[in-house]
Amino acid sequence: MRRRDFLHTSGLVMSGLAFGGLPGPAAAAATPGRGGTLIWGHSETTQNLDIHQTGTASTLRLLQNVHDTIVTVDRSFKVLPNVAESFDSSPDLLTYTFHLRPGVTFHTGAPVTSADVVYSFERVRDPRTGAVNFDVFREVASIEAPDAMTVIVRMKQPFAPFLARLAELGAGAVLPKDSGDVQGKMPVGCGPFKFVSREFGNKVELTAFDAYWQGRPYLDGVLSHEVTEETVRLTGLQTGQFHLINDIPMDRVAKVKQDPKLQVLSWFPLNWDFLNFNHDRKPFDDPRVRQALDMMVDKEALMQGALWGQGVVTGSPSFPTSASFDPAIKPRAQDFTAAAALLREAGFAPGQLQFTFKVTTNYPYHVQAAQIMQAWFEQGGVKATTQQLTWADWLSQCWVHRDFEVTMMNFFTLWEADFLYYTLWNSTGAFNYRNIRDSAIDDMTGKARRSADPAERAAIYKQVQQRIQDQTHDVILWFRNGSVGAQQNVGGLDRLVHPNGSNLMFRNVWLKA
Amino acid sequence: MTYLARRLGLFGVTLLLITLVTFLITNVLPGDVATMILGTRSNPETLAGLREKLGLNQPLIVQYGHWIGHALSGDLGVSLVFRTPIAVLLGQKIAASAMLVVMSLVMALLFAVPLGVWGAVHRDRWQDSVGSSIALAGISLPDFFWGIVLILFVARGLGWLPASGYASPLDSPRLALSYAALPSVTLALSLMAHLTRMTRSAMLEVLGQDFIRVCRAKGLAEGTVILRHALRNAISPVLTVAGLQLGYLFGSIIVVESLFNFTGMGWLTYQALLNRDMPLVQASVLVIAALVMLTNLAIDVVYTLLDPRVRLT
């Protein structure tokens, strides 16, 4: 019996117990069937299919099924063996040794060896690759392969998040040696599905990989139709054109849940959003001004208005199931009197503060949120002008050239705490587009990445969050829900979503006969 | 022959100029392809690395020279964002757009010719006003306006047809038609307007001629006079205009396909522009421009065959 089949049999026993051993629809739904091609209405167009170079959630969502990573994580973000059957790190965090699992093969039929892992890691490390996870290997001194099944990574200095970051596809995916040039159009890896073809902008075809090391997937294949217009996607599900769609329109989730023909999986979080101030622009260098604007926003009402309730307001941007998440940090309540007092203290009488609020039309709910906030700012005696930018313009103006006063953005899957807090809030952080320079945060985030003690790191990150809140460096708004709608004959939905909250794992899904 | 050679020579020059202008305009836009590829996962180091790899840090003239050199030797290069050979991308998309253009052309002719004939026959009466008003509305308002109206009323309001998307006729002819319906109607509307007016005036001209009076005098039924004799003489200029408008249709698809997310050539061009994917922008504009010019040339040539009085010199 294969390991995977065993797991499912034991899972069945457990569900049988839970339902008192009575046969019923729930028990039938839990019986995995084999075969069939799942037709998926995908919300976005996939772009560059090179797993190292792609930063878009849409492409990662698809490639999750084609690639496999050297290590992985569970829902509590514990690092687990994967393509590496075991791994160990030296106590000083300077040496990591990976022992590869025998019998793992690529879609080409070739076995996975240490040379492939070295190639994959070196490719991410090479700045000319343009790898989005380049920073994961920044502290790496050397990557060696003493024998065919062992990889040793030596660090220049400790980088505590290293292992956990390797669970990310863009950093830890194992690619066949020298396959870099073809990955962009014909991705090849050692994951559960083989990439067959893509008709650009329309569809992608995946087929089950018979020799997948965790056992062949239940499905024969996945056919992804790229349908960007959300109402058309939903109609496709309702009329039976698709087995499954991701991203149900936020204003329709409640209604779709009542449809007896369909099942809805909602989870949180898909991503999180925050309001940004440019700390290099006056008067946003003044924490009193930032706090005053924070106090004009009713976060719950804003979430209801912009997300139709499909989210949860938070003061902590840490992934909710991670150790550094701090529910004690509460968003500031709306208080126009206190806000006015703070503004007066900072030298602004009502009507004196004016600014431009740049938002991108790439996220329509950002535009709605900005318009709602604009009304509150108006009420607080502040004149905000909303400027809507295309994605290219937003990236160029706000992200690269940092030319903005106030804006907002969201992030997917920055679940590793160092990746989240160092890159976004350290003054040298790669994603610090708000020009935040806070030596207290610099010290704390620097210290945390050198610490080998997870409890100590979590405690430090909680202090960092408190500091962000106290100084109102940004205003953390909410976690937004993810949603998947499916026909009743799709089984295994509960194990579809990757712990990172964004990627979909079709090897856990089956079609009932 | 010298005429053809001269026209083809001019083609080359025009296309070259078009690529140069496209290149310059696109480079004025803020942001570059490296920013778009890396999105909110970029940092100054990776941006610089990727720009170097893609050759974006070279002077514009060098970048252009490099591109045109390859293009002249028939190599359109690889899309920077999609990492797929551009020839492959264009191959996948041209068929979709061709289907759209042919559908709208046929649709436009099917409606325009009867409407124009009807207007001409009932000249200056209410039937004529109805036809003229429809034509005027079609000409006066841009494609995307009609597109939005159709999305609002037919797709959202009545729910008869999908508001956006594309399906290949090879997979499902029914689905393919339902996706192509609204964009092709949108494209057909303004074309139909032009053709209605053209048919009406050509018909009026023919109906005023002596041989029509002869036909009526010898007792032919009015329907036979109109359809067999008048329309047959009037149709040739209408077809010419339809041919000329084909080029115009290839230009309109950028807006209409993007509006309906109909993933053809026009949609691809728009995506390439949004992504600042220069080689793909250049290649798609080049192909669209070449199609427009080729149809125009073909019309000129066909015209000489239809009408011996016209000579190309």
- Indicate the residue of B29, B37, B163 with minimum beta-carbon distance to A231: B163
Question: Are residues A499 and A508 in contact, defined by beta-carbon separation less than 8 angstroms?
Answer: no
Query: What phi, psi does B305 have (nearest 5°)?
Result: -70, -40
Residue B263 inside a domain? The answer is yes
Residue A169 inside a domain? The answer is yes
Same domain assignment for residues A96 and A165: yes
Ramachandran sector of residue B51 (left: φ over 0; alpha: ψ -120 to 50; beta: rest):
alpha
In 10 A of CB A361, how many CB atoms?
13
> What pLDDT does A9 receive?
34
As a whole number of angstroms, the distance between CA B87 and CA B80 comes to: 13
Mean predicted confidence (pLDDT) in B15-20: 89
* pLDDT classification of A261: cutoffs 50, 70, 90: very high
Burial of residue A146, with CB atoms counted within 10 A of its CB: 0-12 exposed, 13-18 middle, 19 or more buried: exposed
Same domain assignment for residues B199 and B291: yes
Nearest CA in chain B to A59: B82
To the nearest whole Å, the CA of B195 is away from the closest chain A CA by 33
Same domain assignment for residues A209 and A172: no
Residue B311 inside a domain? The answer is no
Query: Which 384-443 residues of chain A touch chain B by CB within 8 A?
Result: 390-393, 395-397, 399-400, 409, 411, 423, 430-431
> What pLDDT does B162 receive?
80
**Residues of chain B found within 8 Å of residue A239, distances taken between Cβ atoms:** none
Q: Domain ends where: A119, A149, A183?
A: A183
Q: Do A229 and B164 touch (CB under 8 A)?
A: yes
Range of the domain at A100: 67-183
Mean predicted confidence (pLDDT) in B84-112: 89
Residue B240 inside a domain? The answer is yes
Question: In sequence order, which residues have a C-beta less than 8 Å from that of residue A167 and are 6 or more positions away?
Answer: A69, A71, A72, A73, A79, A82
Same domain assignment for residues B60 and B97: no
> What pLDDT does A337 receive?
96
As a whole number of angstroms, the distance between CA A422 and CA A441 comes to: 9
Residue A506 inside a domain? The answer is yes
Residue B82 inside a domain? The answer is no
Residue A454 contacts B, CB cutoff 8 Å? no
Q: Do A48 and B168 touch (CB under 8 A)?
A: no
Mean pLDDT of chain A: 89
Q: Domain ends where: A183, A200, A217?
A: A183
Same domain assignment for residues B67 and B96: no
Q: Do B29 and A392 touch (CB under 8 A)?
A: yes
Same domain assignment for residues B205 and B273: yes
As a whole number of angstroms, the distance between CA A79 and CA A164 comes to: 6
> What pLDDT does A240 receive?
86
Question: In sequence order, which residues have a C-beta less than 8 Å from that of residue A350 and are 6 or more positions away?
Answer: A340, A343, A380, A381
If one counts the domains in chain A, the total is 2
As a whole number of angstroms, the distance between CA A24 and CA A254 comes to: 26
> C-alpha distances in angstroms, A461 versus A268, A322, A328, A413, B237?
21, 11, 13, 17, 76
* Residue A8 predicted with pLDDT over 70: no
Same domain assignment for residues A162 and A146: yes
Residue A298 inside a domain? The answer is no
Q: Do B40 and A393 touch (CB under 8 A)?
A: no
Mean predicted confidence (pLDDT) in B212-238: 80
* Residue A152 predicted with pLDDT over 90: yes
Residue B93 contacts A, CB cutoff 8 Å? yes
Nearest CA in chain B to A133: B41
**Least confident among A199-208, A305-314, A479-488, B251-260:** B251-260
Q: Cα angle at B111 between B154 and B155, to 5 degrees?
A: 10
Nearest CA in chain B to A134: B46
Query: What is the 3-state secondary structure of A302-321?
Result: HHHHHHCCCEEECCCCCCCC
Structure tokens at A258: 């009542």
Same domain assignment for residues A94 and A135: yes
Higher pLDDT, B272 or A12: B272
Task: Give the CATH number for residue B206.
Answer: 1.10.3720.10
Q: Do B39 and A395 touch (CB under 8 A)?
A: yes
Residue A28 contacts B, CB cutoff 8 Å? no
**Least confident among A196-205, A207-216, A343-352:** A196-205
- Indicate the residue of B29, B52, B84 with minimum beta-carbon distance to A128: B52
> What pLDDT does B134 receive?
79
Same domain assignment for residues A92 and A153: yes
Residue B312 inside a domain? The answer is no
The structure's pTM equals 0.80
Residue A73 inside a domain? The answer is yes
Same domain assignment for residues A169 and A87: yes
To the nearest whole Å, the CA of A423 is away from the closest chain B CA by 9
Per-residue pLDDT of A340-350, as tens digits, reads 999 999 999 99
Neighbour-count burial for A32-43, b at 16+ CB within 10 Å, e otherwise: beeebbbbbbbb
For testing contact with chain A, the best of B42, B88, B274 (most A CBs within 10 A) = B42
Q: Domain ends where: A167, A183, A199?
A: A183
Q: Domain ends where: B72, B104, B129?
A: B72
Same domain assignment for residues A165 and A191: no
Q: Do A200 and B263 touch (CB under 8 A)?
A: yes
- Indicate the residue of B35, B41, B81 with minimum beta-carbon distance to A396: B35
Task: Give the CATH number for residue A166.
Answer: 3.90.76.10
If one counts the domains in chain B, the total is 2
Residue A3 inside a domain? The answer is no
To the nearest whole Å, the CA of B301 is away from the closest chain A CA by 36
Residue A415 inside a domain? The answer is no
Residue A199 inside a domain? The answer is yes
Please give the ipTM for the structure prediction: 0.73
Per-residue pLDDT of B23-41, as tens digits, reads 888 888 777 888 888 888 7
**Least confident among A19-33, A93-107, A390-404:** A19-33
> C-alpha distances in angstroms, B183 versus B166, B255, B268, B295?
10, 10, 15, 21
Q: Do A399 and B29 touch (CB under 8 A)?
A: no
Range of the domain at B15: 2-72
* Residue B151 predicted with pLDDT over 90: no
In 10 A of CB A372, how many CB atoms?
16
Residue A420 inside a domain? The answer is no
Question: Are residues A282 and A448 in contact, defined by beta-carbon separation less than 8 angstroms?
Answer: no
Same domain assignment for residues A75 and A145: yes
Gyration radius (Cα) of chain B, Å = 24
Same domain assignment for residues B239 and B124: yes
Same domain assignment for residues A174 and A191: no
How many helices (H) and strands (E) would you count in chain A?
Answer: 17, 19
Same domain assignment for residues A76 and A179: yes
Same domain assignment for residues A193 and A225: yes
Helix, strand, coil abundance in chain A, percent, nearest 5: 35, 25, 40
Residue B154 contacts A, CB cutoff 8 Å? no
To the nearest whole Å, the CA of B182 is away from the closest chain A CA by 14
> What pLDDT does A193 receive?
98
Mean predicted confidence (pLDDT) in A135-144: 94
Same domain assignment for residues B29 and B114: no
Q: Cα angle at B15 between B9 and B19, to 5 degrees?
A: 150
**Residues of chain B found within 8 Å of residue A55, distances taken between Cβ atoms:** 37-42
* Residue B1 predicted with pLDDT over 80: no
Q: What secondary structure letter does DSSP report for B157?
A: I
Task: Give the CATH number for residue A202.
Answer: 3.40.190.10
* Cis amide prior to A269 (ω within 30 degrees): yes
Same domain assignment for residues A138 and A176: yes
Mean pLDDT of chain B: 83
Same domain assignment for residues B140 and B22: no
- Indicate the residue of A45, A135, A392 with minimum beta-carbon distance to B276: A392
Q: Domain ends where: B72, B98, B119?
A: B72
**Least confident among A373-382, A468-477, B48-57:** B48-57
Q: Do B48 and A232 touch (CB under 8 A)?
A: no
Question: In sequence order, which residues have a C-beta less than 8 Å from that of residue A408 and are 6 or more positions away?
Answer: A273, A274, A275, A276, A359, A366, A369, A370, A477
Question: In sequence order, which residues have a C-beta less than 8 Å from that of residue A53 and are 6 or more positions away?
Answer: A129, A130, A131, A132, A184, B37, B50, B83
Residue B178 contacts A, CB cutoff 8 Å? no
Name the nearest CA neighbour of A101 among A221, A214, A192. Answer: A214
Residue A124 contacts B, CB cutoff 8 Å? no
Helix, strand, coil abundance in chain B, percent, nearest 5: 80, 0, 20
- In 3-state terms, what secondary structure has residue A205? strand
